[in-house]
Structure 1
Amino acid sequence: SRGRSQAEDLAAGKHVQSTDDLDAIEAELENSAPAAPVHAAPEKKFGYVAVCAGAGLEAVFRDLGVDSLVGGGQTMNPSTQDILKAIDATPAEIVYVLPNNKNIIMAAEQTIPLCEDKKVVVLPTKTVPQGISAMLAADPDASEEDNTAAMTDGFASVRTSEITYAARDSDFDGFAIHQGDYLALVEHQLFGTDQDLTAMLERLAQWEGHQEAEFISVFYGEDVTEEQAQRAEEIFAKACPNAEVTLLAGGQPIYYYMISAE
């Protein structure tokens, strides 16, 4: 709904009981870009850094309480120094880092010995939906141990699917991929290919309908129109009648859709 932030829509769909974190930060999309990094003295116990690309995804992370954002993702891996600057700009004693990509986890972990005045905890999130679910589970009043456990449990139950395209002819998991094909990936494994995006969505949605997910979030990318996205939401709602389906404007590059199921 237009009267609420995307993060509130997401949390409402998951029956999150507390909306304190969501009420705290209501940033509009145009104001969601991270500020220039500066060294920030601790003002609170927990702080959060997330890596993502796309104005909509940035806004969701901001609404969920992320302090500093690092631009990056598939084909755009930030450096350890980029992540360290974001940590320095986060006013907290303990800073959680959400890499949200398997290729960024190592760069994030390399910040741990480099940060002297703050404790850095890297949660090995491999996808943006995992990072969002981790933030939905964060508890500012918990101990470090309990908060880490809650966030880890939060993202561990998430299954991520992505639909992208083939930039060139290639071989993927033993399958011949042709330039321009639409590719569906489930947990980074090839699910299927198709020359029609809607057909690819329908195949993925039909499969998802047999997985018994309770909550499905569809994040649509910068190359998808709102009308196309609404059609995608309808496809998943029809194929997964027992799940609560939420549509969110992610604005991410490369991926037409990222689908979170849990």
Structure 2
Amino acid sequence: MGSPTTTQASPGPALRVLDAVAARRWAVLARAAFAARRTELDALNVFPVPDGDTGTNLFLTIDGALAGEPGRSGVGLTAQSRAFARALLLTARGNSGVILSQIFRGLADEIAARGPEGGGLDGAGLARALVRADEMAWAAVDRPVEGTILSVSRAASRAGLAAGDDLAGVVTAVLAAARAALADTPRQLPALARAGVVDAGGTAYVVLLEALERVVRGGEGESVPPPRPAATRPAPPPLGGDGPAYEVTYLLDGTDEDRVRALRARLAGLGDSLVVSGGDDGADGADGTWSVHVHVDDVGAALEAGVEAGRPHRVRVERFADAAPETSRLHAASYAVVACAAGEGLATLFAAAGARTVPSAPRRRASAGQLLDAVLATGAATVLLLPNDGDTVLAADAAAQVAAERGVDVRVVRSRSAVEGLAALAVLDPSADATTAATALSEAAAATRRGSVTVADRAADTAAGPCRPGDALGLVGGEVVVVGSDLEQTAAHVVQRLLADGGEVVTLVLGESAPAGLGEAVEAAARRTAPHAEITRIYGGQPVHPLFVGVE
């Protein structure tokens, strides 16, 4: 990528040291750059699936940190850098946001090593700080991979060490090395080459260094607008608080897909935590029995909707204010559980298993701070934390790190998908101690084979061949294994592939965009492949992927 074009009538002289004022200006200018290029960064996605959110995560991470830690006059570079790195850690979203926070943590460590005053970094000091930042970024990742932001960071830090003491000279050298390393990422990662893109995180690192170059060389630094007041920031998804007063559940017979869709739409308008599942083939053209669950204030309207859709029975209504705390599945456990949920249906299922849930999905992933808030809200001394998404694992680690400082022991179960999280909670034993429970949940998650089905949003070359916008994509373990024109056939292929090595339990999680009949068709395919398997079909409500599949 080329150097940015800047227009400024009279740029100031190049800085000799990076002091507190310049460091703050760098962060604000980086936020502006991420805001301007977030769509571009989101589009640098290995897969032609609309779930890439690197740019969104980075912008929200740095925007939240700046809004939460407003600049204060007279504060030294050491105190400012520590506060900003801490704020970044709490606002970090996605793996890219956590890595960004670790980069600034490394900078803060080097600044602190120079003394409590933190007067500023010259070129050699900045180079050492970038080396420390690089070490922190690599250490944050479970399985570091070349061809990512880590490769770009490593190349930049090494170039800085060889560039001397002049601050501007070091910045020029690290930026040139970062750009060269970014251009090399498609050679290091075949998936990038197939998609015809460079790494999104590496691109973001270059954008960060471009902002630093502008500040150090006097370009555009003085004209950057002040930080946006914290009061104008979008509120994070709620973790709890006031909600509907009643839980309504019933079974529904004598209905069909069309009436169930209408029922689901009506109940969604009445309340939240909606789950409508079931529908095995019944007699006389009916679609069997459906299970309905919803939280509402208007119980009568929820029941009336059921009567209009079919024949409700086994109706149960419970007022939350009357529910005794000991009804929780984990009331006697020595630990609590927090789980990320990508949709309302998944949130209800995780809550039913005893977990406190945190909304988290592509383009609106939970920050480390939101996970920390949920952990602390449990009031437990030990918490099992399930990210249920590969791009939220590092944020979960960050939350665990901060929680430990507050005396709370958080065990991160490295569940990288919703079906892994469901499999983990299925083996939850409240009578077990926290260590035994964490081990059991981790083993169950790791033993689950995962797949999904989605729709391509652009043309690309995948591991399974080229695709066009609108094509159905089948993924197994995060890799595209089939490209098709029919969503049901593609989903059936994914299930059959997952069952090729056997399987006793199959879980089908339908997303918010799942077309009518998808669940039934995929379940039929699973029964043909594994007639004796236990098959569960549920509504998860997740975006992007009409279907998640788990095989145990």
| TM-score, normalisation: structure 2 | 0.39
Deviations 1:220-242 (A, max 9, x none): 11112453322322222223213
Instruction: Give yes or no for the alignment of 1:48 onto 2:313.
Output: no
Are positions 1:59 and 2:359 aligned together? no
Report whether the alignment pairs 1:130 with 2:420. yes
- SS of equivalent to 1:110: helix
Deviation at 1:75? 3.6
The one-letter code matched in structure 1 to 2:387 is P
Within the candidate set 190, 195, 203, 2:493 is matched to 203
CA offsets, 1:170-229, max 9 Å, x none? 233473221111111101011111011122123223323422111101111111245332
* Identity fraction in percent: 24
Question: CA offsets, 1:117-151, max 9 Å, x none?
Answer: 32111111111111111111122221222111111
Query: Which of 285, 293, 309 is 1:28 aligned to?
Result: 293
Asked if 1 retains the 8 angstrom alpha-carbon contact of 2:473 and 2:484, the reply is: yes
Which consecutive segments of 4 or more residues in structure 1 shift more than 6 A? none
1:155-174 correspondence to structure 2 within 5 Å: 155-173=445-463
Number of the residue aligned with 1:254:
544
User: 2:345–2:539: 8 Å Cα contact kept in structure 1?
Assistant: yes
With the length of structure 1 as denominator, give the TM-score of the two structures.
0.80
Structure 2: segments with no counterpart, 5+ residues = 1-248, 253-273, 279-291, 297-330
Q: Distance in 2 between matches of 1:174 and 1:244?
A: 29
Residue 105 (structure 1) aligns with: 393
- Give, in whole Å, the separation in 2 of the partners of 1:240 and 1:251: 26
Distance in 2, matches of 1:75 and 1:157, equals 28
- Structure 1 residue 118 corresponds to structure 2 residue 408: yes
SS at the partner of 1:114?
Answer: helix
- Greater Cα radius of gyration, structure 1 or 2: 2
**Richer in strand (by share):** 1
1:80–1:148 CA distance, 2 compared to 1 (3 A): same
Q: Which has the higher helix share?
A: 2
Corresponding residue number in structure 1 for 2:513: 223
The aligned runs of 1:90-101 (5 Å cut-off) are 90-101=378-389
- Name the amino acid aligned to 1:45: S
Contact map agreement 2:450 2:498 (CA 8 A) in 1: no
Quote the residue 1:20 is aligned against.
Answer: none
Retained in 2: the 8 A contact 1:43–1:91?
no
Equivalent of residue 531 in structure 2, options 237, 241, 247: 241
Structure 1 residue 43 displacement after superposition: 9.2
Structure 2 residue identity aligned to 1:46: Y
Alignment partners' CA distance in 2, 1:107 and 1:126 = 12
Name the residue aligned to 2:169.
none
| SS of the residue 1:92 aligns to | coil
CA distance in structure 1 between the aligned counterparts of 2:250 and 2:462, rounded to whole angstroms: 40
Give, in angstroms, the shift of residue 2 of structure 1. Answer: 5.8
* CA distance, structure 2, for counterparts of residue 199 and residue 130 of structure 1: 24
What root-mean-square deviation, in Å, do the aligned CA atoms of Structure 1 and Structure 2 show? 2.7
Question: Counterparts of 1:165 and 1:209 in 2: how far apart (Å)?
Answer: 22
Does the C-alpha gap of structure 1 residues 249 and 114 become closer, same or farther in structure 2, counting only changes over 3 Å? same
Consecutive unaligned residues of structure 1, counting only runs of 5 or more, are 11-26, 32-41
Task: For CA contacts below 8 A with separation 6 or more, give which structure has more relative contact order.
Answer: 1
Instruction: Report the Cα distance in structure 1 between the residues aligned to 2:516 and 2:294, rounded to whole angstroms.
Output: 16
Separation in structure 1 between the aligned mates of residue 498 and residue 390 of structure 2, nearest angstrom: 23
Q: How many residue pairs were aligned? A: 233
Q: What is the one-letter code of the residue matched to 1:89?
A: A
Cα distance between partner residues in 1 of 2:466 and 2:524:
30
